[in-house]
Structure 1
Amino acid sequence: MTASPRVEIVTDPTEWDALVGELGGHPLQLWGWGQVKARGAWRAHRVKVLADGRTIGLAQVLERRLPFPFRALSYVPRGPVVAPSDTQAPAGYGVGDADTRAAVCAAVVAWCREHIGGVGVSLEPDWPAGTDLDLPGVVRGEQRILHSHTLILDLTRDADELMAAMGRTTRADVRKGGRDVEIRRVTSEEELRGVLDVYKDTAARAGFELHPDGYYVAIHRELGDASVVVAAFHEGRPCAFVWDAVSGATAFELYGGIDDVGRKARANAPVKWHAVRLAQDAGALRYDINGLLNDGISEFKRSFAQHEDELVGTLDVPFSPLYRVWVRALPRMKQVLRVLRRRSGGAQG
């Protein structure tokens, strides 16, 4: 780069999503995801970074107003997206080279400092652990939103190679399970609400909280074709599902669940495999199973490959001495919010 990067704000959804696709951006950088988050406590800004007459990076910045004296926090989910330095090279998935990454991140941080301010900005890029980033003031974030430990399937491998990497039981279920159900993409909001019934059953069994139904319906509407819900149907009703957000390069698993009927039909593995194959057919390069913990759900996820992946994690750039106070106060505030959500009958976000 010979010219200093400059920032423009994109206000056209079609233009933005086309840029995310061209640069290999993550689905959480799509316009529709920002619109979903804006239904709650966030406001979305779409920042384009240019140099030498071309777009070198993107960041969907989510702004959250905080109580006095903290004022605000900026957050970039699975971004920034960075273009390759070679304009003839494939976009990949938004990692770019070290110089371009540094320029894009510095421009995004400067924009957030000037236009949002507050305690600072949190970046959670879709980059492998160990990716270099020369960014003044950056510190390792203590409060993550997205999991950095995950499993990412390489969709440039063929189906036989992907199957060979599975655990024996999972591979057998993909081949022989789900025979008593119909596995296909969800096509209507009525079917989606049936999927949410399965998700509620899963949440009650596993002990985690859910958003109100309207939040999930908004995801499906706002993401449009990028929302891919695959379900197993038994007697016309969903009994297992996987819900992905898909950009040009990446399929990202948002949610999944199964009820007693689905478990009896051994539908879990064939449903996920159907989703993987749909992403592969759509031209995605990778399928991110989204987070590995020490629980039964994660053990099932691990059975789809013989490796695990680590991303760079949360990178914070503080703007204020109050940043440290905010980081210490946040766990307590989350506990209070959880109590309020339970009392109001659902999660907000």
Structure 2
Amino acid sequence: MQSIFITDANQWNNALVSIPYAHVLQSWAWGEIKARHGWTPTRVLLLENGAIVAAAQILRRPLPRTPFGVLYVPKGPALNFDNAELFARVLAELENIARQQRAVFIKIDPDIRVNQPAAEIPKQRAWRVSDEQIQFHNTVTCNLARSEQEILAAMKPKWRYNIRLAERKGVTIERPEHGAWSQFYEMYAETSARDGFLIRPLEYYRDVWTTMHNANQAQVFFARVGDSSTGDVLHRTAQNDIVAGLILFWFGRRAWYFYGASRSIHRDLMPNHLLQWEAMRWAKAQGCTEYDFWGAPDALEETAPMYGVYKFKMGFGGEFVERLPAHDFVVNRALYWLYAVARPRYLARLRKLQSSSLESL
């Protein structure tokens, strides 16, 4: 197997889309984003008999005051996972790269279903299930290769009803040409406070969304209540507001619902149902054949934190997909223990102490 390191964006993306299971987080634009936030990307094409058979965008983060680093292949490597022997050879190459780059470990979270034969290969090669799962590994997907009528027919009746209800009640869907990131972030912050999840500062998301939009890999959608033709967004009344939004990523023939946000008002008008449907229609019009709702619970139990979100996604006629969790290949066992075990314990202890201090004020 031959490794070729790529330094040209078009060459990388064109090669990547030709490989099965290529993910948007393996795209050039995503690597450039992470390069501005502490990581160094390396793009590697793997060839056999002169043909490209796999690709891996490898992110490296240095460990302070040491010559070592950690490596991460987000939603990669990309290859045909129906070929288990090929996956084994690709992992062998990644193991060699990890040693060459003085990595403490290398983490992968490939887009492989747990029922594919290749899913057993990491364990056979002494990769371990990672204690740190960065991306969702389970998800819900919808087949966009069908007609719109077939997609609608596969939805739960209540979901079709809610889509029609939103349309009857005057909810409209917009696609701002220039991002409107600040407006989206305001809703995103409201959503995080209401639903109890943490988000990053606006500057990080502005970088992500702008970079992906400029690479023609992202589109924002807004759901508005009322007449969309009147006035400035900042001066509209509660009856003429943006009440929900989503940001869609796409790459090749796949689309991902990456970010969603909504306000607490006008939820009875079902804007999120219409928003998802119009995003699906738009992705289909761009040539996408799969819509990934990006995220589902690890366990399908009603007590699971994401179970309500999972039920919402499944209502669109989606398929629950269980994928392999992230795996680590450990190169330096002592440093791995410090990084993966001692460090999280220390940070958890520190957060607990900070929380106790705040409660005592």
User: For the structure 1 residues 306 and 17, does the alpha-carbon distance in structure 2 shift closer, same or farther, using more than 3 Å as the test?
Assistant: closer
Q: 2:33 aligns with which of 28, 31, 36?
A: 36
* Match in the other structure for 1:17: 13
2:114–2:322 Cα contact (<8 Å) kept: yes
Is the aligned partner of 1:269 residue 2:259?
Answer: no
CA distance in 2, matches of 1:245, 1:336: 36
SS in structure 1 of the partner of residue 100 of structure 2? helix
Q: Is the 8 A contact 1:232 1:262 kept in 2?
A: no
- Alignment match, 1:187: 177
User: Offset at 1:147?
Assistant: 1.6
SS in 2 for 1:317: strand
- How far apart, CA to CA, are the structure 2 residues paired with 1:125 and 1:229? 26
| In the alignment, structure 1 residue 7 sits paired with structure 2 residue 19 | no
TM-score, normalised by the number of residues in structure 2: 0.82
Alignment of 1:39-54 (within 5 A): 39-54=36-51
Amino acid at match of 2:296: L
Letter in 2 for 1:258: S
Distance 1:48 1:324 in 2: 31
SS at match of 2:216: helix
Gaps of at least 5 residues in structure 2 are 234-240, 298-303, 356-361
Would you say how many aligned residue pairs link Structure 1 and Structure 2? 325
Report how far residue 341 of structure 1 moved: 12
Distance 1:72 1:336 in 2: 24
Amino acid at match of 2:218: S
Q: Does 1:160 align with 2:153?
A: no
Instruction: Evaluate the alpha carbon distance shift between residue 249 and residue 106 of structure 1 in structure 2; reply closer, same or farther with a 3 A threshold.
Output: farther
Gaps of 5+ in 1: 85-94, 343-349
Contact 2:99/2:331 (<8 A) preserved = yes
The alignment partner of 2:260 has SS state of strand
Distance, in Å, in 2 between the alignment partners of 1:341 and 1:291 is 30
Aligned residues of 1:186 and 1:192 also touching (Cα < 8 A): no
Give the Å deviation of 1:158. 2.5
TM-score w.r.t. length of structure 1: 0.85
Shift of 1:66: 2.7
State the partner residue of 2:341: 328
What is the match of residue 238 of structure 2?
none
Moved more, 221-230 or 129-138: 129-138
Q: Distance in 1 between matches of 2:350 and 2:182?
A: 26
Give the Cα–Cα distance (whole angstroms) in 1 for the partners of residues 93 and 296 of structure 2: 32
- Read off the aligned partner of 2:69 and give its amino acid letter: A
Matched, 1:303 2:293: no
Residue 311 of structure 1 aligns to a residue whose secondary structure is: coil
Deviations 1:26-64 (A, max 9, x none): 111111111112222322111111221121111111112
Distance 1:339 1:36, change over 3 A: farther
> Who is 2:218 aligned against?
227
Q: Equivalent of 1:137, from 100, 113, 126? A: 126
Change (3 A) 1:305 1:13: same
Q: 1:294-326 CA deviation, whole Å, 9 max, x = no partner?
A: 333333223223641101111211111122443
1:126 alignment partner AA: D
Partners of 2:143 and 2:318 within 8 A in 1 = no
Q: 1:337 to 1:175 in 2, by over 3 A?
A: farther
Q: Is the 8 A contact 2:142 2:318 kept in 1?
A: no
| Cα pair 2:19 2:78 within 8 Å, conserved | yes
Q: Distance in 2 between matches of 1:162 and 1:204?
A: 33
Partner Cα distance (1:337, 1:327) in 2: 16
* Greater Cα offset, 173-182 or 6-15: 173-182
Query: In structure 2, what is the equivalent of residue 243 of structure 1?
Result: 247
Once residues 38 and 336 of structure 1 are traced to their aligned partners in structure 2, the CA distance between those partners, rounded to angstroms, is 30
Matched residue type, 2:97? W
Deviation at 1:107, TM superposition (A): 1.5
Q: CA deviation at 1:77?
A: 0.9
Distance 1:244 1:66 in 2: 33
AA aligned to 2:224 is F
> Displacement of 1:192 after TM fit?
2.5
Partner SS state of residue 54, structure 2: strand
Corresponding residue SS for 2:223: strand
Amino acid at match of 1:79: G
Once the two structures are TM-superposed, the CA of residue 285 in structure 1 deviates from its matched residue by: 2.5
Q: Distance in 2 between matches of 1:48 and 1:336?
A: 41
Query: 1:91 maps to what in 2?
Result: none
For residues 338 and 62 of structure 1, what CA distance do their matches in structure 2 show?
27
CA–CA distance in structure 1, aligned partners of residues 318 and 76 of structure 2: 27
Larger radius of gyration, structure 1 or 2?
2
Query: Residues 18, 334 of structure 1: CA spacing in aligned structure 2 closer, same or farther, 3 A cutoff?
Result: farther
Q: Which amino acid aligns with 2:324?
A: V
Q: CA deviation at 1:69?
A: 6.7
RMSD: 2.6
